[in-house]
Amino acid sequence: MDDEHSAPHRRPYALPLPTPPEVLRRGPLREGAFSSALHEPRTAVVTGRLLGAALLTCFLTGLLSHLLQEPPTWLRDHLPSRPVDGYRVTQGLHVITGIAAVPLLGAKLWTVYPRLFEWPPARSVAHALERLGIAVLVGSTLLELFTGLLNTLQWYPWPFPFRQTHFWLGWLAVGGLLLHIAVKAPLTARHWRRRRPGLAQRRAFLGAVTASVAVVTLTTAGQTVPRLRALTLFAPRRPDIGPQGLPVNRTAAQAGTGTTPAGWRLTVHGPRPYELTMDDLLAMPQYEAELPIACVEGWSASARWGGVRVADLLARAGAPPTARVRVTSLEADGPYRVTEMPAAHARDPLTLLALRVNGETLLPDHGHPARIIAPNRPGVLQTKWVTRLEAL
């Protein structure tokens, strides 16, 4: 005898949804609307794994950049100052993989976009939730790549703050990507390896995708990779063009520091605070270091910097070896007018209060009268127009 316990129990997310009236099945919704043989799982898997690798690499290097710029309290005293080119490499890789992901995303969406018009639009609650997750994944990824690409141009035509929005969009996109990978794992596994002779159209399509990725990479990566500099046709920045052979993101005119105050002094605060004039700084032991400027927009350039070691300035003030340093700029306003430097960077012998670059006195656009230059550090934290160092 049947009772309520003998009937199969159906989970709520497996409940079927009603099929819309057939009269609505028009245009791209009709059966057979998409005839290309490339709208199939194997092509989607091949493009998807390339796109996934690019997005995950871009996310991890971007996360590292964010942690270096705004380290949490538990991490700020453990940030290493070596390798010297660490930030240059990771941030360059971040922008390179982000740009490469643009044609890969276009190819991936082309292979699967007919699924947008499948019938019925949602077969069950679970199917509807899966499609909603894909919409979040695609939307957040498109917005992430779009805003990131415009950031390399330093163009911000939106009302929201870029850095915070870009950070959280990255988490949203990667979370959606990992969920999508988990849901599609059985289908992906079936088509991970080619089981029969490949389609000629697929080989041509994947060859075109590979060529497009190679072109955008080779013509933009030169802003980070010196050996590719001759091919830098579409990169937003040439690292060898600018005053004193270096690019400038924020000029002295923009910062309001075009004229150095006549009575400028460097103030160093610690157990034994003191002040130095420019003549006093020039009378101290001078050092030189070959260090890169590496910016979040992806460009980087090396230069020969000369000046006084920050470690010597702190030692004279009686600061302990574990002290962090707060650096204050002459500029009246700006998100990085005041920055903090971890002890490892402050005590690194390559970290300088730079007075010269490439054998010349700093120009105002590069931070005259003095600026910070340190290894393995984002360019926005290489404070220009320095007026005060404070041991914390």
Q: Give 160-176 pLDDT, tens digit per residue.
A: 999 999 999 999 999 99
- Kindly give, in sequence order, each residue whose CB lies less than 8 Å from that of residue 294, ignoring residues fewer than 6 positions away: 85, 87, 88, 91, 92, 300, 378, 379
Nearest by Cα to 388 from 312, 228, 276: 276
pLDDT digit string, tens, across residues 79-136: 999 999 999 999 999 999 999 999 999 999 999 999 888 888 888 888 888 899 999 9
Q: Are 80 and 345 in contact (CB under 8 A)?
A: no
Closest CA to 373 of 389, 352, 343: 352
Residue 34's pLDDT band, with cuts at 50, 70 and 90, is confident
**Residue 10 binned pLDDT confidence (cut-offs 50, 70, 90):** low
pLDDT above 90 covers a percentage of the chain that reads 79
Q: Mean pLDDT score of the chain, rounded to an integer?
A: 92
Domain spans, the chain: 12-231, 244-391
Burial class (CB in 10 A: 0-12, 13-18, 19+), 203: exposed
| Phi, psi torsion values for 149, nearest 5 degrees | -65, -40
Look up residue 328 and give its two tokens: 């204050």
How far apart are the C-alpha atoms of 45 and 189, rounded to whole Å? 9
| Main-chain phi, psi angles of 390, to 5 degrees | -130, 120
**What is the crossing angle of helices 41-69 and 162-183, to 10°?**
140
Q: What is the per-residue pLDDT for 294?
A: 95
pLDDT at 176: 94
Number of H-type helices and E-type strands within the chain: 11, 10
> Is omega for the bond preceding 120 within 30 degrees of 0, making it cis?
yes
Which residue in 136, 42, 149 sits closest to 103, CA to CA? 149
Which parts of 327-377 fold into alpha helices (H)?
343-346
pLDDT at 193: 87
Contacts of residue 321, defined as CB under 8 A and 6 or more positions apart, other chains included, come to: 343, 347
Residue 178, pLDDT > 90, answer: yes
pLDDT value of residue 2: 47
CA–CA separation, 49 and 83 (whole Å): 31
Condensed to tens digits (0 to 9), the pLDDT of residues 324-353 reads: 999 999 998 888 999 999 999 999 999 999
> Is the peptide bond between 369 and the residue preceding it cis, with omega within 30 degrees of 0?
yes
Q: What is the pLDDT of residue 1?
A: 45
Structure confidence by residue, pLDDT tens digits, 189-230? 999 988 777 778 999 999 999 999 999 999 999 999 999 999
pLDDT interval class at 15 (50, 70, 90): confident
pLDDT at position 121:
87
**Whole-number pLDDT of residue 8:** 52
- For CA atoms 49, 50, 54, 60, the dihedral sign is positive
Q: What is the C-alpha to C-alpha distance for residues 62 and 35, in angstroms, rounded to an integer? A: 39
Residue 66: is its pLDDT beyond 90? yes
CA 320 to chain centre: 34
Is residue 366 packed enough to be buried (19+ CB in 10 Å), middle (13-18) or exposed (0-12)?
buried
Distance CA 363, CA 3 (A): 88
Q: Which residues are CB-neighbours of 202 under 8 A, at least 6 positions away?
A: 37, 38, 42, 43, 46
Alpha helices in the chain (DSSP H): 41-69, 73-76, 86-112, 125-152, 162-183, 185-190, 200-218, 252-255, 278-283, 310-316, 343-346
User: 244-391: what CATH class?
Assistant: alpha beta
CB atoms within 10 A of CB 364: 19
In this prediction, residue 74 has a pLDDT band, given cuts at 50, 70 and 90, of very high
SS3 state at 152:
helix
Residue 266 tokens, joined:
């460097």
Rounded CA-CA distance 86/375 in Å is 8
pTM, to two decimals: 0.90
Distance (Å, whole) CA 106 – CA 96? 16
pLDDT exceeds cutoff 50 at 7: no
Convert the pLDDT of each residue in 223-280 to its tens digit: 999 999 999 889 888 888 999 999 999 999 999 999 999 999 999 999 999 999 999 9
Average confidence (pLDDT) over 287-298: 95
Residue 298: helix, strand or coil by DSSP?
coil
